[in-house]
Structure 1
């Protein structure tokens, strides 16, 4: 391969202030020793002393799939041995004939620094290289049983060269965190009875500078955090920030599972971004991809010349949609790798939760496969029993160690109990994406209002199953790419109607049971599909319709966070009631949202046509004076202003099954939210 030159690894001034001294010295027992040598620089040794970070108990846990802190053992670790500074290396390669560390420090000589294989059949190779330190680039050179030499990245590396360069970098992840206030109250922010409004972000394309240059993690810590705080979102969900070689994968083809992408800065820079989110009362969710990995030559595929990380049967080990490889979920060491990785991001980077990608592809053996292309499980079914077992172990482990986090499944099928406790037979996730709601809702809103009367079931059907799981309502990046159009462009009608429809869609979303996720750009009505190679079209905010949508999103976030009826029982049937779904001719629906206090419930009326309706009567659950606390047709949202400014006294007129009712004006293509005074 072409040799890679040593890269400069600098931290920003803000990050430098956070970095502490090196981690404590390792004091493990020496396993093997040769004659001590003190070579001149550069260090070129054929035999070096080796000590181990692994105890017999570590090996037992690793081989049984129960070691959940492998990042403390494997990879590269700055340390000293007998007073000499250097780096300890270890890697799992059970089928290798030999393993060595190569880098600039030894001129990429595969025979200079050979690691020692452990005697315990664990397949672990390890060794200590003196007189190198933080910032050194390296790879593992693995000799296969047939004599081929493979130059591989470190699966546990904490930092990498900037792609397209592929070497690992010796680093540490020490950081002096100052977000203790957030961590202490995090359980209240991530509770299932708390509001969760998530802003989904692709780091490389949210905003750019100097033409088309990406923002760094440190720059995002200022610009993105301030923006999200101003908009009122409670959480940011980052599309995968883990190191990935192929940028058009949007981060979903991960290779460096333990390293944030060096495209945007150092590991400490990303920690600083997370910390700034926390200081501004914003939670951080990370996209996590245990479903597949790419087949790049320097990566995990055939790591030691055999199918080490991927399943050896390509009916289970190869993903036809993404041309990538599927982890062997039944191999104990691989299970430990994945669970350790999840813990790593929650512990070392203070992530507040994980959104697990492509869960459905892991649950089903026949996912995207035709008859004859998959093998049934031992019971003759299509469920991947090993993946199901992994999910249960993963969630049980994560929630036992981090009870105040959220683990959210992107799961698109009707698999039973995804977000139900393991002891009841569920998978143990905290929440699940409500893909059915997303599909039905977007299809409904894409229809001309003239024909919506014939499709009202698409709008109301979601509540038939809305409480079978803890659902998050997603309008994600997947819905605005590959010719699907932006959310705004999906809406029918002229310009005014398209913006009104979008405002109505968001209003329906935020008053529907469940938590919410919106992909960046949707909050101001991005007109074009998302393009990962350029910034969002922020210039659109020069125009009043787009500013109106942005103002509406701020108002909805405020409404959601301040009205307990919208979140206290968001996953319970007790928190929702249909008041009227019978007015199909006018395409009007009315429902109530309820919290713990009966008098604080809300009434939501949606008018799905562009015709305003005067003196429209609806039933209300109690006597009293009602006030309109939100109207998507307000002038501040670029609406027509058909609002109900006056207080409305409930009449003792039975209507829609209620003893009392009120008469009000319904805004065109609008949502109205009422609350009793």
Structure 2
């Protein structure tokens, strides 16, 4: 390490303690953001900004910005022992100052200007500077924060509305500009509440240089993107949703990062944050860099980022992107393109240890939130506790259900009887994890078509199929996720450069789908059987899963109280079926709670006149049965009327 440079930054004034430095180097400092980066403060009675950046292979580091004409060397930082941290205090600076770090590497004379890895705010792209900022904000969501543990519990209803902020709604009369955080806040909160969703999940809001990455290629792991406003503006958006009783889940991407020069890559003239060997450090699918999870300081960085969004932005959960790419050393790699672990296997032991530590720490400090894994393989126990050998996530996306279900629904109904297993197979594994059933943004881009465009048949059948798809999703065990636009039955694929097609709600079939989905959301919240036992096997029971010839499924959803049991019947063909007999779990009058073929949803009006009385005819191994009319391409949801209830 070089000697201490002389200059205004080289005082013995520091926010870092020796204990901080120890934890940082050990990889166990969970809140390094509190002192790393740029912090307005008062040291020795003088106002200014304290800077700290990790660059162990730098020969010299200085802060440049609009306050010194971006001139390297004017405000040098000093090395903190052998920790690799460079620090310094610049008097007279305050929030709003734009800055970067200028680094001169000890290798090959490499010099570079870098944004602050721990920066709280960055310039709006294509600008690349960081901005000194104070995160003070007066939160008004105390009531939500006190009770959110109940709303985020595994036995609570969870219907997630997935949102991309730049394309949910735009202002066409102002050049098609997107809404700011504060503009979108009341509109989104009102819409989500009216639709009955319980949570919003934002595609990554962390700063990213390429808008077309949808936020999945992050350079600012501690800053919401400046495209829509300031950090406080984003806090106001979260606050507004919380005040309406709506949870907020943030997509978070510890799996890879982009190679933009101002970002993390080759930070101090060495592969600091990423693996040096491209067989471990370069992602062949996305042409991005992969974090070195075995490096202590990198773990500190990622753990601190996760805690930061929970601490400072009141996030109710983190959905961790591309977990499968972290778990497997040979992910998207052929023979000879990857390095086995120390035991000769393909498991990334360092990433596994990191994910377990991540979940342990999050649930240690925030037992009332959820972590959700987007994991697309059969890796065991993703959503089981680490003390049992699991990865420790609270929930996992069921990508198998998504794939099989959309494949089945894309088939012409005449052929569906040959593919009945695509619907029934899930119940062989449905309770091996705590699942979320996702119909996400990934299913409506890159030529895949919108959800309604995937449906076969004429327009009437497409809408009927779509309503049936949503009804089937909502009555399956697991939490639910739908990408924005699903409630509009949008014909176009999602385009991140334009708004959703809100004008479609001028047309009755689209309004019918919106009303159907809103009623499903309300029913899922109201009926314990549709959420209370989502992740336990006793919450589901087949009545008949074998009628492939008619493409009909009959099943029960159950809660802890037998009186709450729901009977669900799905007809996956456009053929109405009269006098269709199903076994009933109990005698009495079974009310038809919802019927996707009702006229108010755009259906043809087939149904059961509000409900059906059982008859003492044994069927499906049960002493009583119901004789039903099954509408075409429709789902029926029944509940037994109890004494004193209105039929």
Interval containing the TM-score (normalised by the shorter chain):
over 0.9
**CA–CA distance in 1 between the matches of 2:259 and 2:302?**
18
**CA–CA distance in 2 between the matches of 1:34 and 1:131?**
20
Work out which of the residue numbers 594, 608, 613 in structure 2 matches 1:649: 613
| 2:39 corresponding residue in structure 1 | 77
1:46 Cα deviation from its structure 2 partner: 5.3
**CA–CA distance in 2 between the matches of 1:33 and 1:318?**
35
| 2:189 corresponding residue in structure 1 | 225
1:213 Cα deviation from its structure 2 partner: 0.4
> Is 1:489 the counterpart of 2:478 in the alignment?
no
Pairing 1:543-622 to 2, within 5 Å after superposition: 543-622=507-586
**CA–CA distance in 2 between the matches of 1:463 and 1:656?**
18
**CA–CA distance in 2 between the matches of 1:164 and 1:424?**
46
Asked if structure 1 preserves the Cα contact closer than 8 Å seen for 2:4 and 2:78, the reply is no
**CA–CA distance in 2 between the matches of 1:169 and 1:240?**
20
1:646 Cα deviation from its structure 2 partner: 3.8
After superposing the two structures, state which structure 1 stretch, 75-84 or 462-471, moved more.
Answer: 75-84
Task: Mark the runs of 5 or more structure 2 residues left unpaired by the alignment.
Answer: 642-647
1:211 Cα deviation from its structure 2 partner: 4.0
Q: Taking structure 1 as the reference length, what is the TM-score of the superposition?
A: 0.93
- Give the secondary-structure state (helix, strand or coil) at the position aligned to 2:420: helix
| 1:290 corresponding residue in structure 2 | 254
1:314 Cα deviation from its structure 2 partner: 1.1
1:33 Cα deviation from its structure 2 partner: 11
Work out which of the residue numbers 51, 65, 72 in structure 2 matches 1:110: 72
**CA–CA distance in 2 between the matches of 1:419 and 1:378?**
26
| 1:658 corresponding residue in structure 2 | 622
Task: Mark the runs of 5 or more structure 1 residues left unpaired by the alignment.
Answer: 1-31, 36-44
**CA–CA distance in 1 between the matches of 2:522 and 2:63?**
54
| 2:85 corresponding residue in structure 1 | 124
Q: Taking structure 2 as the reference length, what is the TM-score of the superposition?
A: 0.97
**CA–CA distance in 1 between the matches of 2:568 and 2:365?**
40
**CA–CA distance in 2 between the matches of 1:53 and 1:372?**
47
1:225 Cα deviation from its structure 2 partner: 1.0
**CA–CA distance in 2 between the matches of 1:329 and 1:132?**
35
**CA–CA distance in 2 between the matches of 1:313 and 1:53?**
35
Q: Deviations over 1:106-136 (max 9, x none)?
A: 11110110001112x1001000101111100
**CA–CA distance in 2 between the matches of 1:147 and 1:481?**
44
1:34 Cα deviation from its structure 2 partner: 11
**CA–CA distance in 2 between the matches of 1:50 and 1:113?**
15
1:515 Cα deviation from its structure 2 partner: 0.3
| 2:123 corresponding residue in structure 1 | 161
> Is 1:195 the counterpart of 2:181 in the alignment?
no
Work out which of the residue numbers 14, 20, 38 in structure 2 matches 1:58: 20
Work out which of the residue numbers 310, 328, 334 in structure 2 matches 1:364: 328
1:81 Cα deviation from its structure 2 partner: 2.5
Asked if structure 2 preserves the Cα contact closer than 8 Å seen for 1:407 and 1:430, the reply is yes
**CA–CA distance in 1 between the matches of 2:146 and 2:608?**
42
| 1:143 corresponding residue in structure 2 | 104
Q: Deviations over 1:357-377 (max 9, x none)?
A: 000000000000001100111
The size of the alignment, in residue pairs, is 636
1:350 Cα deviation from its structure 2 partner: 0.1
| 1:42 corresponding residue in structure 2 | none
| 1:22 corresponding residue in structure 2 | none
| 1:6 corresponding residue in structure 2 | none
1:48 Cα deviation from its structure 2 partner: 4.4
1:55 Cα deviation from its structure 2 partner: 1.1
| 2:62 corresponding residue in structure 1 | 100
Asked if structure 2 preserves the Cα contact closer than 8 Å seen for 1:50 and 1:116, the reply is no
- Give the secondary-structure state (helix, strand or coil) at the position aligned to 1:568: coil
| 2:645 corresponding residue in structure 1 | none
